[in-house]
Amino acid sequence: MELTDARVLVTGGGGFVGSRLADRLVADGNDVVVVDDFSNGRREWIPEGVELVDADLSESGVADSVVDPSFDAIAHLAARKDPNDDDPRGQFVENTTMTHELLRAARDAGVTNVAYTSSSTVYGEAPRPTPEDYAPLEPISVYGAAKLADEGLLSTYAHSHGFTVWNFRFANVVGPRLRGAVIPDFIEKLRDDPETLTILGDGRQEKSYLHVDDCVDAMCHVVESAGTVSAGDEAPRDEASNGESAMYTYNLGSRTTTSVDRIADIVSDVLDLTPEYEHTGGDRGWTGDVPRMRLSIEKLSSLGWDPTLESDDAVRRAAEELREEIR
């Protein structure tokens, strides 16, 4: 699909990745509509000139009022994201409900191109590097379970309703506008107390990090490239049963990993501080945290795309950007 002169609905377009995707789509000459209830995002992150619908997609009737036949594609990024959500049932129900309602409304309106932001959490504690065809998928958090359930809904609409779906399983994405994650958390803690930094877990948790600019570029590249090679080539399409639609699943990440202690070192260096570290203990930061994650990105690379920044460099650039942004 060409992402030029297209009309695209971006759900969660006021959030961290969603607003950066909206920026990119506008810059590339697309007509963008954002729907967001700003439970995670901010109004000031919405690009100038973009039509905004302030609404909660999990509420009855909202998706029907937003989706119409004028859209060429939907980028679905809206979700409750807090891994420590004190209402796990509510998180699961809300996330899966908004996805189901959105897909149903899209089917009724005849909008059959959907890009979805899933997560590495669908794999659970898997061997590394984890390829897209790894099974069984056994998430260990409610957030990951909801993402996997959403993937099931997307697969159903691809196989049974003629949809083309681009399903992106994210590694840890970092950069400006990031909130509620390890880098901004460390910056805020060190601004409050430059002498001591409390680190969840033992600090040895190790994961892949991808800068948000690389993330958005990879998404656009896959949407424009997946399906252009035939079966038998390096990146065959994931065929849907009717032969006319497809679901393409791609890991988005980097080939390297960075530990939490290393992130603390980088953030401290960026802030020109030398704090003492205090660890809370245990091999993970919270219930449902996967302590080690690295995704295989060979399928993505076979489409001709690789990240410009590996994990350490992505973390450093994000820390420098957030140092200026978080005051």
Q: Give CA–CA dist 294/220, Å, rounded.
A: 22
- Residue 180 pLDDT > 60, yes or no? yes
Q: Which residue matches tokens 């901004």?
A: 184
**How confident is the model over 38-59, as a mean pLDDT?**
94
Q: Give CA–CA dist 145/138, Å, rounded.
A: 8
**How confident is the model over 19-33, as a mean pLDDT?**
97
Q: Where are the domains positioned within the chain?
A: 7-172+210-252, 175-208+255-295+304-325
Task: Determine the CATH number of domain 175-208+255-295+304-325.
Answer: 3.90.25.10
The average confidence (pLDDT) of the chain is 93
Cα–Cα distance list, 185 to 150, 198, 216, 324 (Å): 29, 10, 23, 14
Q: Give CA–CA dist 74/32, Å, rounded.
A: 10
Q: Give CA–CA dist 137/251, Å, rounded.
A: 14
pTM: 0.93
64 Cβ contact partners less than 8 Å away, ≥ 6 residues apart: 101, 105, 108
Pairing of strands 113-119, 164-170: parallel
pLDDT at 86: 79
Residue scoring higher pLDDT (232 or 202): 202
For residue 239, give the DSSP letter.
B
- Residue 319 pLDDT > 60, yes or no? yes
Q: Give CA–CA dist 112/72, Å, rounded.
A: 8
Helix 182-192 and helix 260-270: axis angle, to 10°? 50
Confidence of residue 73 (pLDDT cuts 50, 70, 90): very high
Backbone dihedral region for residue 282 (phi beyond 0: left; psi -120 to 50: alpha; all else: beta): left
203, 121 Cβ separation under 8 angstroms: no
Helix 260-270 and helix 311-325: axis angle, to 10°? 50
pLDDT at 311: 98
Report the percentage of the chain scoring pLDDT > 70.
94
Q: Does domain 7-172+210-252 have CATH number 3.90.1300.10?
A: no
pLDDT, tens digit (0-9, with 9 covering 90-100), for 87-113: 889 999 999 999 999 999 999 999 999
pLDDT, tens digit (0-9, with 9 covering 90-100), for 111-137: 999 999 999 999 999 999 999 999 999
Confidence of residue 241 (pLDDT cuts 50, 70, 90): very low
